[in-house]
Amino acid sequence: MQLVEIQTYVAKCIATLRERGMRRTRALELVIEEMATAGRPVTIQELAAKPSLEQQCDQATVYRLVIKLLEQGLVRKLGLHERSAYFALLIPGEHHDYLVCTECGAIKSIDMSCPVKKLEKDIMKSSGFSKVYHELEFYGVCPKCA
Amino acid sequence: MQLVEIQTYVAKCIATLRERGMRRTRALELVIEEMATAGRPVTIQELAAKPSLEQQCDQATVYRLVIKLLEQGLVRKLGLHERSAYFALLIPGEHHDYLVCTECGAIKSIDMSCPVKKLEKDIMKSSGFSKVYHELEFYGVCPKCA
DNA sequence: GTAATTGCAAATACTTTGCCACGTA
DNA sequence: TACGTGGCAAAGTATTTGCAATTAC
C-alpha cells in the first residue's frame, strides 16, 4: 500500500470502530497505521517497539488494542497456536494439511492431493530460497460449535 | 497409522537417532510414540500431560526431547511464531500468503493467484465447517542465510 | 567409566489483569 | 459528566536453563 492509501485505510478502520462505540485515540491510529505499513504479520512486541508507539503508549495498551481489533474482525491471528507452539512428526508419506476450528480449537488432519506442492519449485526459482516446504491450514467453525 | 506401524516407525526413529549419538530412553520412545498416535500437531504441554509421559518424566524433559527431535529434523514446528503470536490486518484485496526464512525469521509477502481458495468450498461441503478460510505459508532458507 | 540424559528449581519471556487516573465525546 | 482507555505493576502461563544426580552404553 502507498502512504496515501494507508491514511485512507486507517481513517476507514477508525470510522468503522467508532460506529461500534470505540473511541478515536492516537494509540489506536498508530497501531493500525504501523500494521498497515509493515505489510506482513507482526508480533505485538514488534509493534510496541516501533518508535512512534514506544513513545506513545505502554506495551499493555498495544496488547489490548490488537486484541480489540481481533475481536472486531479487522485483524487476523495467524497460526494454530493458543499461546503454545505446535509440533508434528514428519512421517514419510503422511499429509500435513489441517482443518482447525476457530471456536474450540479442534485440529483434524485432512487428506487431499495437495495443490500447493507444485508451487514450491516455482518459489525456489523466483525467490532464491532453498529447502522450501509449505504449511497449509484451513480454519472455520466446526459443526458442533456452529 | 495402525498400532503395528507406529511401533515400526518408533523403532526406525530410535535407530536413526542412535546412529547420531543419542541414547535410547523410555521417555524418548514415549514422546515419539505419543506424537505418532496423536496423528496431528500437538503442544508440548499436551504431550507432557499424556498419562504415560506424565508418570514417566518431568515436563522439562519433554521440552528437551521435542527440541532435539526438531534439531534432528524428525519433527516440524508449525507456524510463524518465535514464542509470540503473529497478527496481520485483513485488508480487502490484499493477499495473505507468506514466505518465511527458517534461519533468520524474515517474513515476505508473496503475490500469487492462490490455488487454494477454490478448495475452501469443497472443504465446507465435505466437513460441515462454516466460515472457512485458509492460511498458507512457504518456509525455506533465504539467500542471505544459505 | 564416560558422556548423555534427567529432575528439580530458578530464571526468562510473553501475555493478561486489576485498579485508579485520564481523555474523548 | 460518563464511560471507554491508558499506565503501571503484579499475576499468570509458557519456555528455557543450571547443576547435581542418574542412566545408557
Asked if B126 and B61 sit in the same domain, the reply is no
**Residue-level pLDDT at B100:** 94
Could you tell me if B77 and B121 lie in one domain? no
Question: Does the structure show a pLDDT above 90 at A94?
Answer: no
Residues A31 and A100 in one domain: no
CATH classification of the domain holding B133: 3.30.1490.190
- Which has the minimum average pLDDT: A51-60, A114-123, A126-135? A114-123
B45: pLDDT confidence band, cut at 50, 70 and 90? very high
Task: Please name the helix (run of DSSP H) or strand (run of DSSP E) that holds residue A60, with its range, or none.
Answer: helix A59-71
**Residues A56 and A105 grouped into a single domain:** no
Q: Which residue, A92, A113, A130, sits at the end of a domain?
A: A92
pTM of the model: 0.91
Q: Which of A73, A92, A111 is the last residue of a domain?
A: A92
In DSSP terms, which residues pair with A141 in a beta bridge?
B130
pLDDT greater than 80 at residue A60: yes
More confident residue, B84 or A96: B84
CATH number of the domain that residue B49 is part of? 1.10.10.10
Whether the beta carbon of B31 falls within 7 A of nucleic chain C: the reply is no
User: Do A117 and A81 share a structural domain?
Assistant: no
DSSP letter, residue A115: S
* Statement to judge: residues A83 and A142 lie in one domain: no
A82 and A131: one domain?
no
Size of interface A-B (CB pairs under 8 A): 229
- Choose the closest CB to B137 out of A90, A112, A135: A135
Q: Which three cell numbers stand for residue A28?
A: 489506536
| Domain match, B26 and B83 both | yes
Q: What are phi and psi of B94, to 5 degrees?
A: -95, 150
pLDDT at position A111, please?
A: 80
The confidence score (pLDDT) of residue A3 equals 86
Give me the percent of chain B exceeding a pLDDT of 70.
100
Q: Is the CB of A141 less than 8 angstroms away from the CB of B123?
A: no
DSSP string, B78-111: ESS-BSB-EEEE--TT---EEEEETTT--EEEE-
- Tell me what the mean pLDDT of segment A55-83 comes to: 94
Select from A73, A86, A99 the Cβ nearest to the Cβ of B42. A86
Q: Where is the domain boundary, A92, A122, A137?
A: A92
Judge if B40 and B100 occupy the same domain: no
User: Using the 8-state DSSP alphabet, how is residue B143 labeled?
Assistant: T
pLDDT tens column, A23-38: 999 999 999 999 999 9
Domain range spanning residue B61?
Answer: 1-92
The half-sphere exposure of A108 on its side-chain side, counting CA atoms within 13 A, is 18
**CB atoms < 10 A from the CB of A37, how many?**
14
pLDDT, tens digit, 9 for 90 and up, residues B91-124: 988 877 999 998 888 999 988 777 788 899 999 9
User: In terms of domains, do B15 and B74 share one?
Assistant: yes
What is the pLDDT averaged over residues A66-76?
A: 96
- What is the tally of structural domains in chain B? 2
Q: In the structure grid, which three cell numbers stand for residue A9, read together?
A: 485505510
Same domain, B53 and B102: no
- The answer to whether the beta carbon of residue B14 comes closer than 7 angstroms to any atom of strand D is no
Per-residue model confidence (pLDDT) at position B108: 92
Same domain, A106 and A128: yes
Contacts of A43 (CB under 8 A, 6+ apart): B81, B82, B84, B85, B86, B87
